[in-house]
Amino acid sequence: MPEVMIAKNAGFCPGVKAATDRLERVILARRAGERIFTLGYLIHNEEYNEGLAARGVVAVSVDEIDALAAEATEQAPVTLLIRAHGVRREVSEALARYAAANPAFTVIDCTCPFVTKIHRIATDLSEKGADTHVFICIGNEKHPEVEGFMSCFAGEKYVFVDAQALEKALQGWLFPLISAKIPAIVAQTTQNLIEWKKCQKLFKKVCTNALIFDTICNVTDVRQTEAATLAAACDGMVVIGGVRSSNTAKLYDICRAHCADTLRVTDSSQLSAAHSYSLTHRKVGIVAGASTPREIIEEVYRTMTEAENFAKMLEETEVKNLHTGAIVTGTVSHVSDTELQLDLGAGVTGYIKADRVTDDPSVKLTEAFKVGDVIEAKVIRVSDIEGVAELDKRRVDSGKNWEKIVAAKEEGAVLEATVSDVVKGGVTVFVYGVRVFIPASQTGVPKDGDLAPLKGQTVKFKVIETKEQGHKAIGSIRVVLREERRAAEDAFWGEIEEGKTYTGVVKSMTSYGAFVDLGGVDGMVHTTELSWKHIKSPAEVVSVGETITVFVKSFDREKRRISLGYKTEESNPWFIFTGKYQVGDVVPVKIVSMMPFGAFAEIVDGVDGLIHISQIAMTRIGKPEDVLEIGQSIDAKIIEIDSEREKVSLSIRALLEEVAAEAAEEAAEAPATEE
């Protein structure tokens, strides 16, 4: 028999225990003729609630409150207890009015303190500014706890079941909303801690002013952490709790993630039907939801530790169900490329041929399975003489996997799989063992493009259509690509600011500028921003497909327009010129144009200097063309730099005068020649 361990924090949490203890005191002090009711079930545990009903404590709905308050008299008083999950604000206010008006109608609030805390948070935020805040909860919107505290906020409010649903909303409609208002985020008290941390991370990534309240019950935190630790150390887990218990469901998911063989039961009577339980377990852990009475936990423990009875129960369960058509669970004892062998207990070996394991032809059994794995399959043939049973795993998986596909479509989940084949009109992938067809138009490949390169690639897609008959599913890669592009655009617009630098690719050009792809978002560089000198076409500076560095000059987030700059101060010809030359320097120049009053000469690319007609020659000339010609390269002296107007004055005459002066000087110093 296995070693059986009960989690330290299994069973009633403080809030539930306080509610049940309070009810016990009311029952013990019951007055003559007094009737006791609970508004809804006090806790989510079927056996406990049945016990209350047997003791005359009746669960009523909100619709029955008016009649109860009216019927309460001194001879037949009514005591109504509010459940641990709390109630909606309008219900609480109505109960207070009834109790104040009728002394024979008593209301006892057993709402968990952690839930009450969230009621206060929602109420305070509503009073401070329902118009300036948006109230967001991570939890189950249909859960009475969530319905209760969400009713306390008068403004915009939303509930998301998990991080995936939140992320999807943030990538779309929710981001503009939280950008305009202050988001306040809370969690259902029994929310999965890991999921809550994911949600917090998402908010901190996109929002700097979010008000995040840690509202998960600390007992829930401890209980979930303990469950994960215990499940990781055991090869079998039993989770006890009510069918409608939210925290029990989360404990089951946590245990299941760490221990494949995890059962969920409401009490010990369900152990006999636990086909997935096995005597091969060496160590088994027991955890229980916050609404599970201690006596139920102890009964389960006793059943499991009474070796003879429990062993017999398990053996009978296996043998009884080992017939054609039965669903059985076994442990993999041998793996080959052609089949799996399973230990089914009771001296029976099961085997599953490769083609009955999965429909996915790419799956290799030796890579997908290992000895010790627990597998559920359907019996298709039993041989009592050989002591073997032929099984089919596909028949069990088919229904479950199809449900996952349907759920993925309804939830809009993004799936990931490898393209297994290119077929007529599209490609196919296998996910959850189900073949999904992706039409060519949904692959993201341009029309009439080659689909062959997709084979063997891992792609993300969504299921966009399902047909129950034949379990046919159609997927779309394009939908995911579009959503990712929108998400990238939203992220881009959330971070853009003037002056920010980007590296982009020139996408196209027009007569007035070039469009640059900044990573899913286009911006335009006007021709005047491409170069410091006048250009007729963007093609003089850039080319399509070229990677360039640009910066944001201005943008309109509402119209999604971005004006970019390309030329920088460092590339300004005037900046280059003044960094290289000064007044008095002699520079090589090229004559570029003629005017009646002088000639313009290029000093550096983009900076011209004027050689006034009076500075061209030492003697008076009629026009510049008498001495110079366009394209001629000469030396000139910089005689003036006007930085304010960015103008340069040049002189050829100054150089000619210097040469003449030097010649005269040399002539004066030369000795006289005797005749």
Dist. CA 204–CA 158, nearest whole Å: 18
Residue 214's nearest CA partner among 240, 239, 191 is 191
User: What single string gives the DSSP state of each residue in 393-459?
Assistant: HHHHHHHHHHHHHHHHHHHT--EEEEEEEEETTEEEEEETTEEEEEEGGGSSPPTT---GGGTT-EE
Dist. CA 472–CA 427, nearest whole Å: 14
Residue 72's nearest CA partner among 42, 38, 99 is 99
653: left (phi over 0), alpha (psi -120 to 50) or beta: alpha
CA atoms within 13 Å, Cβ hemisphere of 152: 23
In one-letter notation, the amino acid at residue 56 is G
Please list the alpha-helical segments (H only) found in 151-293: 163-170, 174-180, 193-206, 218-233, 246-258
Angle between helices 193-206 and 218-233 (to 10 degrees): 120
Dist. CA 490–CA 172, nearest whole Å: 8
**Which residues are within 8 A (CB) of 516 and not within 5 positions of it... i.e. 6 or more apart?**
504, 505, 506, 507, 522, 523, 524, 525, 548, 550, 564
512: left (phi over 0), alpha (psi -120 to 50) or beta: alpha
Are 476 and 464 in contact, with CB atoms under 8 Å apart? yes
Angle between helices 113-129 and 14-28 (to 10 degrees): 110
Beta bridge partners of 601: 591, 609
- Compute the Cα dihedral for 126, 128, 132, 135 and give only its sign: negative
3 is catalytic: no
Residue 373 in 3-state DSSP? coil
Dist. CA 216–CA 250, nearest whole Å: 13
Dist. CA 227–CA 613, nearest whole Å: 95
Query: What six digits make up the tokens of 531?
Result: 């170069």
Dist. CA 171–CA 162, nearest whole Å: 15
Dist. CA 637–CA 609, nearest whole Å: 10
Distance of CA 394 to the CA centre of its chain: 32
Compute CA distances 524 → 179, 231, 451, 545, 550, whole Å.
26, 57, 33, 15, 10
Dist. CA 647–CA 639, nearest whole Å: 11
Dist. CA 474–CA 357, nearest whole Å: 23
Residue 267 in 3-state DSSP? coil
In the set 74, 93, 141, 145, the catalytic residue is: 145
Compute CA distances 446 → 177, 304, 427, 577, whole Å.
35, 62, 14, 50
Give 513: exposed, middle or buried? Use CB within 10 Å, 0-12, 13-18, 19+. buried
**Which residues are within 8 A (CB) of 324 and not within 5 positions of it... i.e. 6 or more apart?**
379, 380, 381, 382
Dist. CA 35–CA 464, nearest whole Å: 55
Dist. CA 276–CA 328, nearest whole Å: 8
Residues designated catalytic: 145
